[in-house]
Structure 1
C-alpha cells in the first residue's frame, strides 16, 4: 500500500480549537491522499491538553523538550538549538529519534513537512536521507517567522541548507513564495489556502435573517496588526441593527468589551461549534493585516468563503488582499475607513452587498479543494 508520512506540530485530532490554520491545511492534504488510496501516518508533538486513545491515522506524539528557567541560560540554549535543529521542536524530534525509528514501518512514498515550526523541516530533511524517499515541504508562513533581527541571518542560512534537499516546496502565498525564493535560492510553487468543503450535515447553511443582524468575528492573535478599533464608531452608530459576536481568545475579548459596542462573547470554539456560528451569522467579519512590511491574508478568510455569506473586510490592507482580488477577479472591497464600514452596513440592511466580498462575484477560478487536489495530483506525477 502507498504510504505518506506527515510531519507537523499538531494535526486535526490533537488540535481542534477553531480549526487552526496549520491544522486545516494539513486536513486538506489528508483528504487528497485518502482519496488517492494512501495510508497516512503522522509524527506530531504532544498536546498536553488533549488525550487521544484511538487515532484515525497511525500517529506518534513526541513530547516537547523543556526550556531553562534562567533567562540568560535559556537564550543561549535556544540559539544553540536553532543553529543545529531549527527550534525546540526539531531538538525534541532529535532527542526522540530512536522512538521515531521504532515507529516507522516499511517504505514511504512521500514525506511532507508542514511549516511552522522549523523542527518539522529538520525532521523531514533527516528522514529523507534515512528513508531515501521524496520529501515535500508545505510553508504556511514566511520562512522568517519566529526569527528576530539577531537570529534572522543564521536562521535563514539554516533553512537554505535544509531546504536545498527538498523535492518540492509549496507556499500558501505568492508574495511569501517570491520573498522566500530569493532568500533560499530555490524554486517555490504556491497554492493558496483553499476554500474548505463544508460538513453539510452539521447544519443549515442558508442565509439567516436575524434582528439585529449578526456579524461574527472569529480569531485574532496579532492585535497590533489586526486592530478592531476602527469598528467602534460604525457599530455604535448601527447598534440597533447590528450585533457583533466574537469567538476567540480571552485577551481580545477583553479589549473588545471596552469598546462599548453591541457584543456577544462566544469564547473559543471547536470546529463544529464554529461551523454552527458561521452558519447562523448574517455577516462574517475579517480584519485585514495592516502592519507594514508584511502581506498577509488571514486564513479565516478562506474558511469564511465556504459559507456563501457576505464577508466584511475591514482595515488597511498591506497588499495581500489586493493581490487576491486581482487573481480571483473580484472588486476591491477593503473597508479601510469608518465611512466605508458604515456604507457597507447601510448597504447590507438594504440588501446591497457592494462593499462585501462574495465568492459568487469572482470572475476567475478560486482556490478550492478540487483545484488543490488537481495541483497535488500533478505534483505527484512530476515527482514519481
Structure 2
C-alpha cells in the first residue's frame, strides 16, 4: 500500500481541532485513510450509505454522548445534512468535558455542498482537508508516466494492466453518472452530462466557451453552467480563474477548465496506452493539466492559483501566490528544450514575479534566460513543498 502524504496533514489537524472535514471524490481513498487512522486510536466508524448506520444517528445525541472521548468517523456525511447542528452541540459539550481535539473525522464527496452545510454550524470548530488521487511525491519516480496515463485513483493506478485500469475508470465514470450523482438528489440526464464531460476532455486546459458548449449539446448556457458547477463541486473538474489584479492590462476573463485527474481525461477519450496518448491531439493539454494539478496540490495551504493571459498574447500557464505573498510564474511544456516564449517573459515582467519556472520534460534543472529556471515536474513540486 502506498503511503498517503495527506495522512500526516489529517493527523496534525486532529491534534489542533475538534473535527476534520476530509473532502475528496469517491474512490479516492478517504475511507481507507480513515480506517488506517482508526486502528491507531479509540475510534468508531459509521457510513451514511448504510441504512443501519443512518438509523443509529436518527437520534444523534443519544448515540454520540456515549462515544465521548472517542474519534467518531462519519463517512459520506453530506447524505445527512441535518446532522451538522447536532455535531456543533457535541463538539461544544466535549470541549467543556475536556475533549478539545480529535473528536470527529467527517468524510465527504461533494465539496461546495458540504462546505455550505458546515460553514455556519461548525465554523471555527473543524479543519478542512482535501484528499486527492495519488500525486507524484507518493509514487516511485519511475512510475510517473503510468500515473499520468492512468491517473491517481488507487484502483486505477495500481491495476494489473493498462487495459484493466481503463476498464476501472470507464466503470467509475458510468457509476458516477448513473448512480452517484442521482444519489445527491440531482436529476441530470446521464448521457448529456457524459457528453459534456467528454467535451471538456477534448478541450483539456482550454478557455471556457459556454456558448459553444451549449450549442454543441443543444442546451442553454445556464444548463452548461449547472453541469460545470456540478463537476467542480464533485472535485472532478478544476475551474482555474484568470489573474485579475492588473487593472492596466486587457486580460482574458474566461476561466480555463481542466479535468483534475488525467486518467479520467484519457478514459473519456478512449485512450488506453502511453503510445495512444502520445499520438493524440490532447497530449499537450493533458500533460499541462497533470502538472498543474500536482503543483497546486504541492503548494502550501492558502496558496491562490490562477493563470495569466492578455489580449496581446502575454501568457503564464499557472500563477501561484503563496501565503507569504511571493508570486510564482510557471510555464508547462512537454518538451526537452528549456526555453519559454517571449509572451511568458512579458507577462512575468508585468507581474514582477518572484520565481519564474519552466516545467519541462528534460531530466535536469538548468538556468534559462530572463531569470527562468527549467526543471522536471518532480523538482518543481519539491521546490514548492519545501
TM-score band w.r.t. shorter chain? 0.3 to 0.5
TM-score norm. by structure 2 comes to 0.35
